[in-house]
Amino acid sequence: MFREISLTDLLISQNRGGHTLVDVRSQREFKESTIPGSINIPVFNDEERAEVGTIYKQIGADEAKVRGLGIFSKKLPTFIATFNKIETPITVFCWRGGMRSKTAATVLDLMGIHANRLNGGIRSYRQWVVHELEDKKFLPKLFVLNGYTGSGKTIILKKLYEEGYPVIDLEGMAGHRGSIFGQIGLEPSNQKKFDSLLLNEVTRYQNEPFVFIEGESRRIGKVSLPEFLNDKKEKGKQLFINIPIEVRVQNILDDYKPWESSIPFKEAFQLIKKHIHTPIAQQIESDLENGNFASATKLLLEFYYDPKYKHSSNQYTDEQKIHIDTVDVEDAYQKVIDTVKSIVLCTFP
């Protein structure tokens, strides 16, 4: 017989390592949000879940169970074979700890595969995440990377992470670059997914002396930062990266590749067109239409993004701000490291 496991015990087992969490919900549900580190082995795919749900609402629970059993029985060999490949202890879960996880755990037990079942399902995990983010106290100091759009902040953060420095990549978790064009080529996260990923990273770095983070507004795409982290970010040491506009333009083109998806860029531009002086807006629109993306990007920086950014940077005190003049991203990366090392040595002798 399978064993019910509490969320607390599950998190302890996960932190110890060598434990596999299996989300048995549909692919779409898994994609929208799950417990970080989980894998997806669905009882029903998206279409099957919709069919069973419709029967449940229109006819009744018994009929839905019969149809669900018929669907699931046909895929049992593949389902069991997939679980047989897992060599660690297993915990399965669905949304509420209901029929799908119960069915999965029961069938696995009958086939000699022991699996725990998360009591309360992922809903209990979501409730825990919300509570944790409301009361979280984050101890590390924050070094906040700032700079005009295209300064290579995300590239620098990735290089810092690759070198073993503690980094919280807000844009990566949000699936959004933080601008009106920020969702192009990416898949924006919803708040549930973002919160779970963020809590995972905050917990991971809780005992570090400092953490790198990017200077974002509280809202990034479809998600918002919790109050504790936004306040900590605003009070952190602000590193302002100054880099030539030609380099910034090239960074943006390398990142967005607008020639591969010109229509979304034209559509996004319409949302901000009214905020730009008419002759300039007309030139940007013409450049986008004719594929002159370098020209359009430079004009957007000069007449839209840079003025907005300059205004927002005035909120910080002189004691918070450190300006780093650079020639390119590689130079900026090295100077960020040198700057932080000098601060850390003074703070933590």
Scan for tokens 């924050």, then name that residue: 142
Q: Tell me which H or E stretch contains 39.
A: strand 39-40
Q: Which of 94, 133, 170, 252 is catalytic?
A: 94
Separation in Å, CA 92 to CA 101, 197, 267, 287, 288: 6, 19, 43, 53, 49
List residues bridging with 219 in a β-sheet.
Answer: 224
CA dihedral of residues 197, 203, 209, 210 (deg, nearest 10)? 10
List residues bridging with 23 in a β-sheet.
Answer: 40, 93
Exposed, middle or buried by CB within 10 Å (0-12, 13-18, 19+), for 338?
exposed
Cα distance between residue 23 and residue 94, in whole Å? 6
Separation in Å, CA 232 to CA 207, 258, 310, 339, 348: 15, 35, 21, 20, 20
Is residue 346 annotated as a catalytic residue, yes or no? no
Cβ neighbours, 10 Å, residue 265 = 19
Radius of gyration of the chain (CA): 24
Scan for tokens 């449940």, then name that residue: 56
Cα–Cα nearest to 93, from 25, 31, 26: 25
Exposed, middle or buried by CB within 10 Å (0-12, 13-18, 19+), for 102?
middle
Residue 189, φ and ψ in degrees, nearest 5: -80, 155
Please give the positions annotated as active site: 94
